[in-house]
Chain A
Amino acid sequence: MRITVHVWRQAGPQEPGKMVAYDLDNVNEHMSFLEMLDFLNESLIAKGEEPIAFDSDCREGICGMCSLVIDGIPHGPEKETTVCQLHMRHFHDGQEIFIEPWRAKSFPVLKDLIIDRSSLDRIQQAGGFISVNTGSAPDANNIPIGKEQADRAMDAAACIGCGACVAACKNASAMLFVGAKVSHLALLPQGQVEKKRRAIAMVEAMDAEGFGNCTNQYECEAACPKGISVEFIAKMNREYLGAQLSGRSS
């Protein structure tokens, strides 16, 4: 099939960017979206043009590296699918496709479609952990956890940290990302010990990074390639409020 892609090209973090259109022939429907871009890049290299820079690593939907907004939707039109697992069979001959990077103040563009997501790391560093030194753990079966509870923690823990929630949110809010981690750990007995400190620290770190605020539109949930529920944002709100109202530290 033949398609036209409009791609955001930006030479560097400080450079201005713009959309550039490329016509591409002989696209195979079995190609993944990123393979289509590889294919386009090969043709650009052949012409002596710099290839389009975009992030990807595992290409099996789990590392969270790929980050393209396709026609306004992070990871493209397929539900619960990262862009590396999106295949060209979902597009039609002659289609025009717009490809842009995640857009948020907290995700500055480094080049073309590559963005800097270190803000997400910094939020995790603020409290997304359980403070147990190696070697000091009790036997794993000493902490019984009901299947339902463990499954729910797993639902929250499934976040791949891609940032699609931020990209999809009209306000560029990171609450689904933060809510998932706060909830994952707050749902487990191991995470109870530090849950108050964690909820406050992570929310404050999120605010400090300049993400927007949640207005409960749930675009994040709809765009999340792992289908993480906004229920975890509610849980984070609860955890945060509880921590502030009942915590002993000021």
Chain B
Amino acid sequence: MNLWLFRMLRSSVGRKVLMAITGLLLIGFLVSHLSGNLLVFAGRDAMNDYAQFLKEHPGLIWGARIGLLAIFLVHVITGLTLAAENKAARPIPYQKEACIQASLPSRTMARTGLLVFVFVVYHLLHFTFGVVQASKHAKHLEGLRYDVYDMVVLSFHNPIIALSYIVAILVLWMHLWHGASSFFQSLGWNHPKYRPVFEKVGPVLSTILCLGFLSIPLSAWLGILKAGGM
């Protein structure tokens, strides 16, 4: 690797940029993930068609998975090293702590980030690997087709599962509240004219995304979405 690239990516500013870019890509993923998930409201067929489409294009889905995993790991590992350095930068804490204006989400990024990480593992074990609730994991329908729709809806009939998802989405909401505004600054884009707008991007975007995500477990739990394969 070129020396300069190495130096850049190791520097405080370089890693800040890395966090911003990977964060931005992960937000992009969330948007596409949500648009796919929302097909659940279009009915079982739409949802299952989408799942089948993905299944039939292994190149696409594995490419995306590997890329996503790499981005995710860079984001998590860089974030953890930064957080460790930040902690080390103030070995003796203030006896009396105070905060002037920083938002709660901005002050808890490392913690919310870790919780999101834990959730993602859980989420994968749940829907992708079928370790959680193995009995309800996508059953085969009409031979080759997976019934993803039923899997999702039935899962969230379990209040514990629905609640865990809801909590996780709220944590994600906090993480994005700060993150989706912060990347402008990290990438060097700040200006008195745009700053008020940038500062609202995070809260607005995170709220839209999370409302979207919340709608699924809530609808399933409250019985708005009904499973049909039972």
Contacts and interface: CB of A to CB of B under 8 A. Distances in A.
A–B proximity contact (CB within 8 A): yes
Interface of A: 6, 8, 19, 69, 71-73, 98, 100, 103-106, 168, 170-173, 175, 203-204, 206-207, 210-219, 222-223, 229-231, 233-241, 244-245, 247, 249-250
Size bracket, chain B contacts: 35 or more
Interface stretch (B4-12, B31-39, B44-52, B64-72): B4-12
A100 B96 contact: yes
B92 A103 contact: yes
B163 to A, nearest CB: 30
Contacts of B190: 230-231, 233-235
B90 A105 contact: yes
Contacts of A213: 12, 15-16, 82, 85-86
Interface string B126-146: 000000000000000000000
A231 B195 contact: yes
6 contacts: A100-B95, A171-B86, A210-B88, A213-B15, A214-B16, A238-B189
A219 B94 contact: no
Contacts of B102: 170, 217-219, 222
Nearest to B88: A105
Interface stretch (B147-155, B169-177, B180-188): B180-188
Given A215-B86, A216-B186, A250-B2, A237 B13 contact: yes
Contacts of B91: 105
Interface string B79-93: 000100110111111
Given A212-B90, A216-B185, A204 B96 contact: no
A170 B107 contact: yes
Contacts of B184: 234
Nearest to A219: B102
A189 to B, nearest CB: 21
Nearest to A215: B109
A204 B88 contact: no
Given A204-B7, A212-B86, A233-B185, 9 more contacts: A72-B94, A106-B89, A206-B12, A213-B85, A216-B106, A239-B188, A241-B13, A249-B4, A250-B3
Contacts of B99: 72, 170, 219
Contacts of B3: 250
A250 to B, nearest CB: 4
Interface in B176-210: 178, 181-182, 184-192, 195
A234 B189 contact: yes
Contacts of A98: 95-96
